[in-house]
Every structure is written in structure tokens, then in C-alpha cells.
């Protein structure tokens, strides 16, 4: 019977790891004492198996469990449950990697648009994508729409709601979406560029369905969802059953899960349908390292049979001045998100946004020229291409992009 391979990082004394690993296999499969599992078929086909234990240091180990695919029912919620349900309650255990069998890939489907589909909708090819955000929350609808139009006139590709914007009294969802969508349409008539406004959808299922209807009626071209806030199964169902536009995934609440960021943000969000994934960039106001960011970008867009690549969207305390560095690191298949530092320009917001768009175009062209020269001379690649980031595990088990606990 087909099994998926889940890798857990476990902190315990080396003398205890074998028994802890076996307890983990029981917990994540039958949730019963080994002696109580007497049915031969259940023992052979359902009971979790410890397939490998690797020592990281004296009291830190990686444990591979072979878990029956049948226990997932090829369902999103049950898959998450079988991967890290009860075991997430153990403070000494983190989930760091998963090998996904083809049948589960087909069931969960991945992005509907991915990098190529998103580029086609934006009409942008051969350069990095640019994104900014409407903030701070608390502004009235008219001011948010003014900011939206100004940044669209400056040439940014994507303008998203701050993830804190919801359906508050100071900026009601329906009113805000209508005003901001009209703002980018006015800018498009001036510039000829197809800037996309991306409203944030958040709430309980009934509210989310009302919001989906509003974005359809207003002709919105993309939406922002926070999978870990909404719940991964709700996110999956919205993407595949309620929406017909690309989805930008926000990592809010993702840090509470004790799931390695490359796996959660890069791999699982992508598998469940995110076309682009936001994550904290290195050197910003969060603590992610270059290694972690490279691993997230790799998990989002590396080759994965049956799953379209998603766009990595590094964000968090970024500036226009860093654009050349970031594109050397990530390459052109990326969306750079710069929010707060653009707003510091005040009355010169349009000019500062234009500088952002120009910097991304220039750095993308320089990167393409450098790549061409490197290919001609046989020089090694730089940035993410040189980090050794593994592609998502599909057929072969093994750790990819692990984040220490």
C-alpha cells in the first residue's frame, strides 16, 4: 500500500530516540498501544512505520515515518491531521518535510495559474514582478483608493490590501473593494498597464462566500488569503471551488504551527493552490535567514510533476535600494513586495513607486545579461541557484529545506 514519508525533528536524549520515534509512529497512525493493534491488515497497512532516524546533534534527531496514504482519504484536513495532528501537541516535535505521493498531488491539485498564468494575466514577462500594500489600516476607503491609484500610476504590478484590512467599520469590505478596483482601472486608462488590486478575504465561511461574490461582481483580478488563519481545508476549498482568479497566500499565523517554513509556506500552501506565497525576507524586520528564504523560494517554484510553480514573494521591511541585491539572490521569477518604505515618500509616492518599478526592470535586465554571460563562459550561478535547495519531495524521501527548531 502507498505510503507518504513525513520527517519530524525531535528533541530528546539519544538514548530515548528509538522509543520516542516508535511512539510517534503510533500516535500519527493508530493512536493506540502497539499491543492493542492485533488485526494483521491494520498492522501491515495502517500502522505507522519508523523508516529512518538521523542524528543532528546530541539531543536532536530527524525521524522519518512511513504513513499509510489510505488514512488521509485524499482529503486536505485529514492529510494535515495524519501528518501532524496529535504530535503537534508535543513541544519537542516539529514537522519539517513530507514526501507527497502522486495520488495525493492529484487530489489536492496545486495552483491553478502558477508563475506562467500569473505573468499572462499581468502581461509581464522577462522581469521580476512588483507588489505593494495598502496601509496603515484605519484609513478611510477614499484614502486607501487614493493610495491605490497613486501606486498604480507609478507602475507597480500588484497592489494588495494589508492583511489587517478586513470588514472593519472604517473601511467596509464591499465599499473598499469597489473603490480600489475603480482606482486601478482609472490608472490603467492613463498608463496602459494592467495593475491588479488584491483584496484580503478573511472571516468565517459565510462571510468568505459573500466576499467571493463581491470580488466576482467587481471584476477583481486576484485575492489575498491567509491559509493558516482561515484553516488549510477552507483555503483549499475557496481556491478550487469558489474563486476563479489567482490567489496570493499570506503567512499570518503560520509561525504558530511548528512546521518548517519551507514546508508550510513554500510546499503546502503551493500544493493546496496558492499561486504566489508571501514570506518574511532575510535582512528585514523578521528573523528568517538567507538559507530559509532560499529554501522557501525553492519549495514554491522548483520542478514538481503535476504541480505548477508558485511565485515566491519575499516581504517585510524591504526597500527599493535592495532590489538589485534581491534579484541577484532570487532571479527574475519572483514578486518583490515593498510596502511601508514606499509610503514614507509621502507626496512623492508616485515617483517612489516608479523608482521601484524601474529598479526591478533594470535589475532583471542586468540579471538576464549576467546569466547569459555565465552560460557562455560556464561560470557558476549565484543566489538561490547556488544554495543547493532541494526540489519538493515527490518520489524519493529525504529532508529538503529543513528549519531548526
* DSSP 8-state symbol, 379: P
CB of 129 closer than 8 Å to CB of 301: no
Same domain? 131 vs 34: no
Instruction: Indicate whether 184 and 59 sit together in one domain.
Output: no
Residue 78 sits in which domain range?
3-107
Q: Are residues 133 and 100 in the same domain?
A: no
The angle that helices 205-218 and 173-191 make with each other, rounded to 10 degrees, is 30
What 3-state class would DSSP assign to 100?
coil
Q: Which of 48, 81, 107 is the last residue of a domain?
A: 107
- Are 316 and 296 within 8 A, CB to CB? no
For strand 276-280 and strand 247-249, is the pairing parallel, antiparallel, or unpaired? parallel
In angstroms, how far apart are the furthest CA atoms of the chain? Answer: 73
With respect to residue 401, please indicate whether it lies within any of the assigned structural domains: no
So what's the pLDDT on residue 289?
96
Residues 73 and 221 in one domain: no
Kindly state whether residues 236 and 260 are assigned to the same domain. Answer: yes
Give the pLDDT confidence of 350-362 residue by residue, as tens digits: 999 999 999 999 9
Question: Are residues 122 and 97 located together in one domain of the fold?
Answer: no
Is there a domain that residue 389 lies in? Answer: no
Among 336, 272, 264, 307, residue whose Cα is nearest residue 95: 264
Residues 223, 315, single domain; the answer is yes
Do residue 326 and residue 209 come from a single domain?
A: yes
In whole angstroms, what is the distance from residue 274 CA to residue 39 CA?
A: 40
Provide the pLDDT for residue 317: 86
Please, which residues bridge with residue 49 across strands?
66
Within a domain: residue 391?
A: no
Q: What is the pLDDT of residue 253?
A: 96
Residue 75 shares a structural domain with residue 137: no
Summarize pLDDT for 20-49 with one digit per residue, the tens.
999 999 999 999 999 999 999 999 999 999
Count of C-beta atoms within a 10 Å radius of residue 2: 12
Residue 283 is predicted with a pLDDT of 94
Q: What is the DSSP letter of 259?
A: B
Considering the domain architecture, whether residues 42 and 135 belong to the same structural domain is answered as no
Residue with cell 473593494: 177
pLDDT score of 395? 32
Q: Check: CB of residue 323 under 8 Å from CB of residue 359.
A: yes
Per the DSSP assignment, residues forming a β-bridge with 6 are 65, 98
Query: In this structure, what are the phi and psi dihedrals at residue 138, rounded to the nearest 5 degrees?
Result: 115, -20
Q: Which residues of the chain have pLDDT under 50?
A: 385-405
Please report the pLDDT score of residue 403 as a whole number.
35
How many residues are present in the chain? 405
pLDDT of residue 61: 98
Same domain, yes or no: 80 and 173: no
The model carries a pTM of 0.93
* Any domain includes 402: no
Looking at the structure, do residues 96 and 167 belong to the same domain, yes or no?
no
Choose the final residue of a domain: 52, 84, 107. 107
Amino acid at each position: 500500500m502507498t505510503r507518504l514519508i513525513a520527517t519530524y525533528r525531535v528533541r530528546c536524549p539519544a538514548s530515548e530516540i528509538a522509543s520516542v520515534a516508535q511512539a510517534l509512529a503510533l500516535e500519527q497512525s493508530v493512536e493506540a498501544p502497539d499491543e492493542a493493534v492485533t488485526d494483521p491488515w491494520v498492522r501491515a497497512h495502517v500502522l505507522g512505520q519508523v523508516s529512518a532516524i538521523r542524528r543532528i546533534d546530541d539531543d536532536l534527531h530527524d525521524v522519518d515515518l512511513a504513513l499509510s496514504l489510505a488514512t488521509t482519504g485524499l482529503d486536505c484536513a485529514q492529510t494535515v491531521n495524519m501528518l501532524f495532528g496529535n504530535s503537534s501537541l508535543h513541544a519537542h516535535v516539529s514537522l519539517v518535510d513530507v514526501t507527497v505521493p502522486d495520488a495525493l498531488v492529484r487530489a489536492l491539485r496545486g495552483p491553478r495559474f502558477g508563475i506562467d498564468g500569473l505573468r499572462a494575466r499581468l502581461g509581464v514577462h522577462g522581469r521580476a514582478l512588483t507588489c505593494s500594500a495598502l496601509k496603515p489600516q484605519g484609513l478611510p476607503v477614499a484614502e486607501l483608493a487614493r493610495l491605490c491609484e497613486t501606486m498604480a500610476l507609478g507602475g507597480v504590478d500588484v497592489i494588495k490590501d494589508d492583511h489587517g484590512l478586513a470588514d472593519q467599520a472604517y473601511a467596509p469590505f464591499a465599499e473598499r473593494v469597489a473603490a480600489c478596483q475603480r482606482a486601478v482601472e482609472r490608472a490603467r486608462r492613463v498608463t496602459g498597464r494592467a495593475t491588479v488590486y488584491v483584496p484580503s478575504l478573511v472571516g468565517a465561511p459565510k462571510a468568505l462566500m459573500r466576499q467571493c461574490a463581491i470580488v466576482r461582481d467587481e471584476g477583481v483580478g486576484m485575492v489575498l488569503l491567509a491559509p493558516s488563519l482561515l484553516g488549510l481545508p477552507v483555503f483549499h476549498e475557496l481556491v478550487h471551488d469558489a474563486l476563479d482568479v489567482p490567489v496570493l497566500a499570506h503567512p499570518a499565523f503560520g509561525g504558530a504551527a511548528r512546521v518548517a517554513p519551507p514546508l508550510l509556506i513554500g510546499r503546502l500552501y503551493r500544493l493546496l493552490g496558492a499561486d504566489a506565497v508571501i514570506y518574511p525576507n532575510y535582512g528585514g524586520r523578521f528573523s528568517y535567514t538567507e538559507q530559509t528564504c532560499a529554501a522557501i523560494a525553492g519549495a514554491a517554484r522548483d520542478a514538481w510533476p503535476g504541480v505548477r510553480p508558485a511565485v515566491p514573494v519575499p516581504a517585510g521591511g524591504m526597500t527599493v535600494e535592495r532590489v538589485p541585491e534581491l534579484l541577484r539572490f532570487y532571479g527574475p521569477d519572483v514578486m518583490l513586495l515593498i510596502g511601508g518604505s514606499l509610503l514614507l515618500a509621502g507626496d512623492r509616492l508616485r515617483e517612489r513607486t516608479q523608482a521601484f518599478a524601474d529598479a526591478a526592470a533594470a535589475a532583471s535586465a542586468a540579471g538576464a545579461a549576467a546569466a547569459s554571460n555565465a552560460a557562455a563562459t560556464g561560470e557558476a550561478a549565484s543566489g538561490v541557484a547556488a544554495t543547493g535547495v532541494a526540489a519538493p519531495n515527490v518520489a524519493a524521501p529525504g529532508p529538503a529545506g529543513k528549519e531548526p527548531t
